[in-house]
Amino acid sequence: MPRRHSATQIRAKSVPNLTDLTIRTLPVGLHLDTRLTSFGIRVGKNRKTWIVIRGTNRTKVSLGHYPAISLADARKRALAALAATETDQIAPPTFPVALKEFEEKHAAHLRPRSAYQLKRNLTRHFAWTKPVDQIMHHDVAEALDAIKAPSQRAHALKDISTFFNWCIPRYLKSSPCVGIKKPPQKSRDRVLSDEELAKVWNRAKEIGHPYGTIVQLLILTGQRAGEIAALRWEWIGDDEDTVTIPAAITKNGRATRIPIGKMARQIVAGVDRVGTLLFPARGYTDKPFRGFGTSKLSLDKCGVKGFTHHDIRRTFATNMAKLGVRLEVTEKLLNHVSGSLGGIVGVYQRHDFKDEMREAVTKWEAHLLTLL
């Protein structure tokens, strides 16, 4: 049980954002965090005690001792303790109402693609109408069990956990997702053979704009599906042999500029200029194409089994290695950051590899021509 402290305590001092490092050097006294002002640590001569101050009478409640209780766990206990006061006074909203508020206050700060995926997962897999404090552990588990694909289930669990963590301490004392484990996922290693890639290309060409054209550009550039689908005419270079994808669109938040070869330029030149987007969603001029799920069913008629859009990106990277392209050049083309660009290289290396990337793209298109 949390232990209440008397009002005769040492005067509290504010500490800029408590960290494990600052905690070790704090002098005797009560030190409050500036990040969560009602939370802090009381440093005595023999031990350090986590404290939360709650209620109108400013009651100090002990949450446990450091280091037996870590800083992260102490914050969670503090939020739960504060919620115990707040949720007694405010009736929690229904799930749809709380979800709308969550989207306005949290998802609004995400990149457009991330916000779209988050909203899509939450509305697609969770349809409760009752107040959020009445959603129990078994409700979440049942909703997740209805999702058959392990990857979709893992993403749904991540997103619903994000939502319920946001509800603490606004409307909940704790999350009903606690204890639900992420399903094991086998890392994909699917790489399309040359014959399979040719089949996918030819089928995509038959499908045409917008989806088929997107798939062709995925094969040619190795970019992510969402990034190609969001292409705008203004991102095409004046010389029409480069494409710039801004940080707001990319998965890693890093802008990228890649060269495109003759085949890709011909495909782009064949797209009608209607609005600002190369691939607008059906019925829209300002929203990018998003019908990958249903459109993929048409692509599957090419006869190639068990592949995803992301496998095309892996196939691109694998073929770069076969063509003798250096790893750092491939990573620049893919706008991917890994251990090969870490450490000193990642910090100090600023070569743009423009010529090397263009040479790699030329090699790749020449190889594709031999397949087609």
- For the stretch 169-199, pLDDT in tens is 888 888 999 888 877 666 778 999 999 999 9
Q: Which pLDDT score, from 0 to 100, does residue 170 have?
A: 83
Highest mean pLDDT of the ranges 11-20, 141-150, 210-219, 230-239 = 210-219
Q: Is residue 32 very low, low, confident or very high in pLDDT (cuts 50, 70, 90)?
A: confident
Over residues 298-334, the pLDDT tens digits come to: 999 999 999 999 999 999 999 999 999 999 999 999 9
Note the helical H segments in 242-323.
Answer: 262-269, 292-299, 309-322
Q: Residue range 20-38: average pLDDT? A: 84
Give the closest residue to 132 by CA, choosing from 104, 80, 161, 96. Answer: 96
Least confident of 80-84, 90-94, 197-201, 218-222: 80-84
Distance CA 118, CA 124 (A): 10
Q: What is the pLDDT of residue 334?
A: 94
**In the prediction, which pLDDT does 339 show?**
52
Q: Which residue has the tokens 């739960």?
A: 80
Angle at 71 between CA 69 and CA 74, to 5 degrees: 60
- Rounded to the nearest 10 degrees, how much is the dihedral formed by the CA atoms of 204, 207, 211, 215? 0
99 vs 111, higher pLDDT: 99
Confidence of residue 76 (pLDDT cuts 50, 70, 90): confident
Give me the mean pLDDT over the 72-84 stretch: 81
Name the one residue in this structure whose structure tokens are 């496998």.
311
ω into 210 cis (within 30 of 0) = yes
Give the H or E element holding residue 124: helix 112-125
Please give the structure tokens belonging to residue 17: 């954002």
Q: Average pLDDT, stretch 15-25? A: 78
Predicted confidence at residue 52, as pLDDT, reads 86
CATH topology agreement for domains 4-89 and 194-371: no
Predicted confidence (pLDDT) per residue in 149-165, tens digit: 888 899 999 999 999 99
Give the residue extent of every domain in the chain. Answer: 4-89, 95-166, 194-371
CATH topology of domain 194-371: hpI Integrase; Chain A (1.10.443)
Percent of the chain with pLDDT over 90: 49
pLDDT for res 110: 76
The CATH number of 4-89 is: 3.30.160.390
The answer to whether 14 and 34 are in contact (CB under 8 A) is: yes
